[in-house]
Structure 1
């Protein structure tokens, strides 16, 4: 298992958002519950897909193509308390013709720690057939540019068990 990067290191990815954690995420233990972590990761994924990858409503309307989640694996590293300031990031880990492997990172800016990571695999989908298809060239180019930029980073994150862009043979 690799050590977690510092907040300064993940900040190099450029935060997708910075926000204060709302009261609704508090659980009986007094910290942010699993649903709160997951909501933050989903907000990050949606923001990155729209802003960085270009899979927004206009693209879907124009092409009839989007993405479906295939696998998610959340790892909790440090707790977050309500009222803490958090930020979220995307790092692309790999791409195949029809799938992308990535991770969102939620950092606790109040404590300076990585709070949780969500490693995931998405399939690019033709919504008329509801089947995976090869990425549109414009989307593949954006993902590949991010992948090249992210692969050059000097740090890594603990990976989940067997997530990736291809199935074992």
Structure 2
């Protein structure tokens, strides 16, 4: 998987959003996309991926359980401006009985430029007890199948990065 220019054809196994239009109200004083709206588009794509996994809105309603984001790390690689269109990918990197580890990319449609990445850890929660709970067996099986399918894409060099402490 290329890390600076990406194309959906290279990552066809992943879950991809439809193109998002950049709304003028989403721009900040610097004339580019405000950081909050990167998160909006990443989050909307998570919702698409959860639906593919059978762990989306219908699952939440029927099972009184859902996924909570417990950690996120966003890296901004290039500016997104008014009138750009972007697509967002979702790659499931790993799972266990209660958690999903995912990586997302945001790519400008016009030039395939990587605009941002988001790495996330989700926990499965019993919504009545408000505590972490194991996935149902079929949900865990679907997650493991998605991890296996997405593994063919490879792992981005941006996975697992952290902000290092600054020195004096």
Normalised by the size of structure 2, how large is the TM-score? 0.86
Q: What is residue 88 of structure 1 aligned with on the other side?
A: 88
> Does the 8 A contact of 1:107 with 1:114 survive in 2?
yes
Q: What is residue 59 of structure 2 aligned with on the other side?
A: 59
> Does the 8 A contact of 2:20 with 2:41 survive in 1?
no
Which 5+ residue runs of structure 1 have no aligned equivalent? Answer: 163-169
Which 5+ residue runs of structure 2 have no aligned equivalent? Answer: 163-168
Counterpart secondary structure, 1:144:
helix
Q: What is residue 28 of structure 2 aligned with on the other side?
A: 27
Q: What is residue 40 of structure 1 aligned with on the other side?
A: 41
Moved over 3 A (4+): 2-5
CA distance in 1, matches of 2:135, 2:97: 6
> Does the 8 A contact of 1:5 with 1:155 survive in 2?
no
Task: State the Cα deviation string for residues 143-167 of structure 1 (Å, max 9, x = none).
Answer: 11110011112452411336xxxxx
Counterpart secondary structure, 1:79:
coil
Counterpart secondary structure, 2:16:
coil
In structure 2, relative to structure 1, the CA distance for the partners of 1:48 and 1:82 (3 Å cut) is same
Task: State the Cα deviation string for residues 84-119 of structure 1 (Å, max 9, x = none).
Answer: 111111001111111110012211112211111110
CA distance in 2, matches of 1:104, 1:63: 27
Where in structure 2 are the equivalents of 1:1-169 lying within 5 Å? 3-4=3-4, 6-7=6-7, 8-50=9-51, 52-154=52-154, 156-161=156-161
CA distance in 1, matches of 2:143, 2:15: 16
Counterpart secondary structure, 2:19:
strand
Counterpart secondary structure, 2:134:
coil
> Does the 8 A contact of 2:13 with 2:150 survive in 1?
no
**Higher mean displacement: 153-162 or 81-90:** 153-162
> Does the 8 A contact of 2:6 with 2:107 survive in 1?
no
Counterpart secondary structure, 1:116:
strand
In structure 2, relative to structure 1, the CA distance for the partners of 1:12 and 1:84 (3 Å cut) is farther
Q: What is residue 166 of structure 2 aligned with on the other side?
A: none
> Does the 8 A contact of 2:15 with 2:49 survive in 1?
no
> Does the 8 A contact of 1:71 with 1:122 survive in 2?
yes
CA distance in 2, matches of 1:139, 1:119: 21
Give the Å deviation of 1:31: 0.9
